[in-house]
């Protein structure tokens, strides 16, 4: 027997936890995300957002009709694929209704947070790699699949770039042209958001960073606005501001309303 490739379907009961859909009602299958800027377990398919969360469609056929009108944008780019993976910090725009949303973590789920048109013009991304490319230029690899290329003409300019940008730092970039608006270093005293783990969605000031070498992960201590101190893995920390966040964050009542809409909460 030989393998016939990956499965093309996804059952609701086996859907990733981040999918804000009921598991045992509403049908047997869920939309399986297509390959894209975010992995399958860290995204929400665009079809689920339009049909199940926003309620603009009742069936998948209606979702396709909406997308084919080219009125839905993700990060400033028109998307017509209902399987397109929408992930952390992505900006969703619906032209017909003038609505703007940002995908943010909240209590171990991804939620839609309503934002203003001004805030929809930028997003925060994390640097996951930097490397040399053709002609000794430098390329930054970002977490959402983007790459930013620096064309350098001298060793001094090259060294300055290498000494400025580090892995795990954050960039505030404009949409859709992805110009760097601000550089946020990962260091103590910065404002950070926890994007994975049991404390996913918590945010606050970085009080301490403990670097570990070997099998144990480096950790960061976050002090929340309520004064609680949380210790989490450094890989789970995303810098979103200096003394305050560069973006607005979801409130509890806003998230509860979304969860009731998709029948996850009574």
φ and ψ of 138, to 5 deg: -115, 135
**Over the stretch 114-173, which tens digit does the pLDDT of each residue have?**
999 999 999 999 999 999 999 889 999 999 999 999 999 888 999 999 999 999 999 999
φ and ψ of 160, to 5 deg: -65, -40
Secondary structure in 3-state letters for 149-189: EECCCCHHHHHHHHHHCCCCCEEEEECCCCCEEEEECCCCC
Domain ranges of the chain: 10-115+250-261, 125-184, 191-241
Tokens of 62: 């209606």
| Chain length of the chain | 266
Partnered with residue 115 across adjacent β-strands are none
Partnered with residue 194 across adjacent β-strands are 237
Q: What is the per-residue DSSP string for 181-249?
A: EEEE---TT-EEEE-SSTTTT-EEEEEEEE---SSSPPEEEEE-TTS-EEEEEGGGEEEEESSSBSS--
CA angle, 64 as apex, 86 and 125 as ends, to 5°? 15
**Model pLDDT, residue 56:** 93
Write down the residue that tokens 């996850």 correspond to.
264
| For residue 40, pLDDT beyond 60 | yes
**Over the stretch 182-222, which tens digit does the pLDDT of each residue have?**
999 999 999 999 999 999 999 999 999 999 887 788 999 99
Confidence of residue 17 (pLDDT cuts 50, 70, 90): confident
Distance CA 100, CA 117 (A): 7
Distance CA 143, CA 175 (A): 15
Distance CA 189, CA 187 (A): 6
User: What is the pTM for the complete model shown?
Assistant: 0.89
CATH of 10-115+250-261, one of 3.10.290.10, 2.120.10.30, 3.40.50.11780, 3.90.1300.10: 3.10.290.10
Q: What kind of architecture, by CATH, is found in domain 125-184? A: Beta Barrel (2.40)
Give the CA radius of gyration of the chain: 20
Confidence of residue 266 (pLDDT cuts 50, 70, 90): very low
Distance CA 174, CA 75 (A): 9
CATH of 191-241, one of 2.30.30.30, 2.30.38.10, 3.90.870.10, 3.30.365.10: 2.30.30.30
């Amino acid at each position: 027997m030989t393998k016939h490739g990956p499965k093309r379907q996804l059952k609701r009961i086996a859907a990733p936890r981040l999918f804000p859909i009921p598991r045992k009602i509403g049908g047997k299958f869920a939309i399986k995300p297509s390959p894209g800027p975010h992995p399958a377990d860290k995204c929400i398919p665009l079809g689920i957002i339009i049909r199940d969360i926003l309620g603009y469609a009742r069936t998948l056929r209606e979702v396709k009709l909406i997308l084919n009108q080219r009125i839905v944008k993700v990060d400033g780019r028109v998307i017509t694929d209902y399987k397109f993976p929408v992930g952390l910090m992505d900006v969703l725009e619906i032209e017909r209704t003038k609505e703007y949303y940002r995908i943010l973590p909240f209590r171990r789920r991804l939620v839609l947070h309503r934002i203003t048109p001004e805030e929809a013009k930028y997003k925060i991304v994390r640097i996951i790699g930097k490397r040399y490319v053709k002609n000794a230029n430098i390329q930054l690899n970002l977490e959402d699949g983007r790459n930013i290329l620096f064309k350098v003409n001298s060793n001094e300019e090259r060294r300055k770039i290498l000494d400025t940008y580090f892995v795990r730092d954050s960039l505030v970039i404009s949409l859709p042209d992805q110009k760097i608006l601000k550089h946020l270093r990962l260091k103590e005293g910065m404002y950070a958001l926890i994007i994975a783990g049991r404390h996913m969605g918590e945010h606050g000031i970085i009080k301490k960073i403990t670097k570990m070498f070997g099998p144990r992960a480096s950790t960061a201590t976050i002090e929340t606005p309520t004064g609680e101190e949380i210790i989490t893995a450094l890989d789970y920390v995303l810098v979103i501001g200096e003394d305050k966040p560069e973006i607005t964050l979801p409130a509890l009542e806003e998230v509860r309303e979304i969860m009731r809409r998709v029948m996850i909460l009574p």
